[in-house]
A and B are shown apart, each in its own frame.
Chain A
Amino acid sequence: MSLTVERNPSESLARALLSQGVSRRDFMKFCTAMTAVLALPVRYTPRIAQALETAVRPPVIWLNFQDCAGNSESFLRANHPTVSELVLDILSIDYQEVIMAAAGHYAEENRLNTMREYKGKYIVVVEGAIPLADDGIYCVIGGHTAIDILKETAKDAAAVITAGTCSAYGGIPAAAPNPTGAVGVRDVLNNVPLINMPGCPMNVQNLTALIVHYMTFNSLPAVDHEGRPLFAYGSRIHDDCERRAHFDAGQFVEEWGDEAHRKGWCLYKMGCKGPQTAHNCSMVRWNDGMSWPVGAGHGCVGCSEPHFWDTMGGLYERLPHVQLPVGAEVTASQLGAGIVGLAAAGIATHAVASGIRAKLDPIDREVTKVEEKMP
């Protein structure tokens, strides 16, 4: 027990921040920023501040399954500590395989202790997909399969948060042909409040905002039909993109490094999936608001959408290829050109054949005689 991260959930966040040397001013700036990320009116800032000052930090159990630890990385990246990173650091993380000091059955004990002590109050964050094929043997931790651990841990949780696309929808482990039968948490859990925070990785800003929301309002934020919080996934990247004026103007990058690319024009023709992707990257950005993929000159790859690898897999093409039964892959336009070509060929054949028939078997033109007879 004592080997793990220091944990004192009864200590309030504000006090923890102060002890880490965060000024009141920085704290209020942080609360304002969170109000913005949560898309709340500015009058909520004091309320958030008050809640953070008094609320008790929720204990968190962070489960890693089929993943690359990219979300843990996103969560831990601290080139220069900011308030939001401190907020996350001092979350009562009771179990996090990537960072916890405990190992072996000590670690598993921590998890079980938290589940007992904070029954119905702890939050479970899941990172990575859950393999179901062959009784789930493709991800086994401490002798238990991922699916068993997840079900056991989530049973008494206040809420389950999926960090990243893999735990939300299966992500890359679930990409075709999906040999391990990987699925997202939503496919195996019900009866537990579930919030999806997809992304590859999820944006830590949004996770912070989600937790702030939870601490302030004691409830989970409104979600869309995919279970994603609306504040972070409520509009498309394309609709808030800084290159959007170039899209509307019809000014597109045609080739990497061409003049249009150097001028920062729209990346639509380079396969940008901004129009397909609901996320707030363009507003919140990454690395402390430094930049984001489209800002850096590469199209969005749609990493936070369901089935992203299979349907957005042509990273540099707008539409997925159609798999024909014969095995050839074609684009929508090739397929369409084929359809129209077939129709044209059919028409041409029929027209020629009609011409030949007209020669061989002419219709008698008695009709003209009728016309002549008419008054």
Chain B
Amino acid sequence: MATQPVLRGRSADITAAGVPAGRIYVWEIPVRLTHWVNALSIVMLSFTGYYIARPYLAISPQETYSHFFMGYIRFTHFLFGYIFLASLILRTYWAFVGNQWASWRALIPFVTPEGRGLFRQSVEFYFFARREPPVVLGHNALAGFTYAIIVTLYFIQVFTGFALLGLSDPGGFWHTMTGWVFSLVHMQWIRVIHHVVMWLLIAFALQHIYVAFLIDAEESNGLISSILTGYKFIVPERHKHTDLHAPAQAEHGPDNVTAQLTTATATQPSDPRSPSA
């Protein structure tokens, strides 16, 4: 299939035309690990959370002591709540020490002119005003900004979740950490927020998976496999309408593929398959 990455196994390279091509290590292990832990947690938390909100399964009318269904559901919810929290802590740490694509800067594309340009191009692409998506190695600018919103929702969800958990143990650790919020926002609205954010995250997951397939197909960059293996691909032939020679300016902004690639190869010497200088 044409959508298969064609340069599998070859290292990133700059073609004769000066266009980068090949295979680049983009997503480091913590990024991929936390991505899938988050995805699993959100699926589990949504199923169990929905049951907590509306216990729709009828339990057989046997003796009560032989059942603990809601108990197990809540236990699972809280367990994945803690797993989700741990994963967020790791990812937040990595946003400060990881590579340029893992950096928190990727979440705010607006700060650089290149970021703004790429953001505009992405919007144009999704609204059919542009035939090809902008070429980027990390998140595309629109996705980066979407993730900024999603990460905010993650934190809201974790905070409201642990605040609700704190209610069952007044004076305990979580209640001490989060109890103050109830004087600002009534507990019932905290519940509504916790509830609605679940739906927002589900809506995000739907469009996110759709877009992952879409961009993978349009760009042939191995996007989907990238979040498993860490590698992305640049297929120059897919970007002949794109100006890949735009001058690289910012140090951090994923502005121009050549610049990104230079940094990528420079910062990945430990990868045996990466092009050594």
Cα A339 to Cα B204 with chains together (Å): 10
Q: B207: which of A230, A318, A343, A363 is its contact (CB, 8 Å)?
A: A343
Name the B residues within 8 Å of A370 (CB-CB).
6, 235, 237
Q: A306: which of B73, B186, B237 is its contact (CB, 8 Å)?
A: B186
Decide yes or no whether A133 CB sits under 8 A from chain B: no
- Known contacts: A251-B61, A343-B203. The answer to whether A319 contacts B191 by CB under 8 A is yes
Name the B residues within 8 Å of A278 (CB-CB).
170
Q: Is the CB of B196 within 8 A of A336?
A: yes
Decide yes or no whether B47 CB sits under 8 A from chain A: no
Cα A2 to Cα B67 with chains together (Å): 65
Name the B residues within 8 Å of A238 (CB-CB).
168
Decide yes or no whether B218 CB sits under 8 A from chain A: yes
Cα A371 to Cα B235 with chains together (Å): 11
The segment from A137-145, A150-158, A347-355 that touches chain B is A347-355
The segment from A22-30, A92-100, A241-249 that touches chain B is A241-249
The interface centre, meaning the residue of A268, A337, A350 with most chain B CB atoms within 10 A of its CB, is: A350
Name the A residues within 8 Å of B2 (CB-CB).
365, 367-368
Cα A319 to Cα B187 with chains together (Å): 10
- Within the complex, what minimum Cβ distance (angstroms) separates A367 from chain B? 5
Decide yes or no whether B210 CB sits under 8 A from chain A: yes
Name the A residues within 8 Å of B61 (CB-CB).
251, 259-260, 263
Name the A residues within 8 Å of B57 (CB-CB).
250
- Known contacts: A332-B192, A367-B235, A371-B4. The answer to whether A340 contacts B186 by CB under 8 A is no
- Within the complex, what minimum Cβ distance (angstroms) separates A309 from chain B? 11
Cα A238 to Cα B187 with chains together (Å): 15
Residue in chain A with minimal CB distance to B74: A248
Q: B71: which of A248, A311, A346, A354 is its contact (CB, 8 Å)?
A: A248
Decide yes or no whether A225 CB sits under 8 A from chain B: yes
Decide yes or no whether B40 CB sits under 8 A from chain A: no
Name the B residues within 8 Å of A350 (CB-CB).
126, 210, 214
Decide yes or no whether B100 CB sits under 8 A from chain A: no
- Within the complex, what minimum Cβ distance (angstroms) separates A89 from chain B? 33
Q: Is the CB of B59 within 8 A of A251?
A: yes
Decide yes or no whether B202 CB sits under 8 A from chain A: yes
- In this complex, how many residues of chain B approach chain A with their Cβ under 8 Å: the count is 54
Cα A30 to Cα B159 with chains together (Å): 44
Name the A residues within 8 Å of B218 (CB-CB).
363
Q: Is the CB of A363 within 8 A of B238?
A: yes
Decide yes or no whether A74 CB sits under 8 A from chain B: no
Residue in chain A with minimal CB distance to B206: A343
Within 8 A of A (CB), among B141-195: 167-168, 170-171, 179-180, 182-183, 186-189, 191-192, 195
Decide yes or no whether B270 CB sits under 8 A from chain A: no
Name the B residues within 8 Å of A340 (CB-CB).
199, 202-203, 206
Q: Is the CB of B196 within 8 A of A250?
A: no
Question: Interface digits, A151-171 against B, CB 8 Å rule (1 contact, 0 not)?
Answer: 000000000000000000000
Name the B residues within 8 Å of A202 (CB-CB).
none
Decide yes or no whether A328 CB sits under 8 A from chain B: no
Interface of B is mostly: helix
Decide yes or no whether A288 CB sits under 8 A from chain B: no
Decide yes or no whether A295 CB sits under 8 A from chain B: no
Decide yes or no whether A269 CB sits under 8 A from chain B: yes
Name the A residues within 8 Å of B6 (CB-CB).
367-368, 370-371, 374
- Known contacts: A268-B55, A312-B188. The answer to whether A224 contacts B170 by CB under 8 A is yes
Question: Interface digits, B69-91 against A, CB 8 Å rule (1 contact, 0 not)?
Answer: 11101000000000000000000
Cα A344 to Cα B205 with chains together (Å): 10
- Within the complex, what minimum Cβ distance (angstroms) separates A149 from chain B? 27
Q: A339: which of B7, B200, B235 is its contact (CB, 8 Å)?
A: B200
Within 8 A of A (CB), among B83-138: 126, 128, 131-132
Q: Is the CB of A234 within 8 A of B195?
A: no
- Known contacts: A269-B55, A343-B206. The answer to whether A332 contacts B196 by CB under 8 A is yes
Name the A residues within 8 Å of B202 (CB-CB).
336, 340
Name the B residues within 8 Å of A245 (CB-CB).
64-65
The interface centre, meaning the residue of A230, A245, A319, A344 with most chain B CB atoms within 10 A of its CB, is: A319
Decide yes or no whether A109 CB sits under 8 A from chain B: no
Question: Interface digits, A318-332 against B, CB 8 Å rule (1 contact, 0 not)?
Answer: 111010000000001
Name the B residues within 8 Å of A268 (CB-CB).
55
Name the B residues within 8 Å of A42 (CB-CB).
none
Residue in chain A with minimal CB distance to B51: A250
Cα A225 to Cα B182 with chains together (Å): 9
Decide yes or no whether A235 CB sits under 8 A from chain B: yes
Q: Is the CB of A307 within 8 A of B195?
A: no
Decide yes or no whether A1 CB sits under 8 A from chain B: no
Cα A366 to Cα B236 with chains together (Å): 10
Q: A333: which of B55, B188, B195 is its contact (CB, 8 Å)?
A: B195
Decide yes or no whether A252 CB sits under 8 A from chain B: yes
Within 8 A of B (CB), among A206-257: 224-226, 230, 234-236, 238-239, 245-252, 254
A-B pairs with lowest CB-CB distance, top 6: A336-B199, A250-B69, A249-B67, A343-B203, A311-B188, A248-B71
What are 7 A-B contacts with C-beta separation under 8 Å? A230-B171, A251-B61, A268-B55, A333-B195, A339-B203, A343-B204, A374-B6
Q: Which residues of B line the A interface, CB within 8 A?
A: 2, 4, 6-7, 53-55, 57-59, 61, 64-65, 67-71, 73, 126, 128, 131-132, 167-168, 170-171, 179-180, 182-183, 186-189, 191-192, 195-196, 198-200, 202-204, 206-207, 210, 214, 218, 220, 235, 237-238
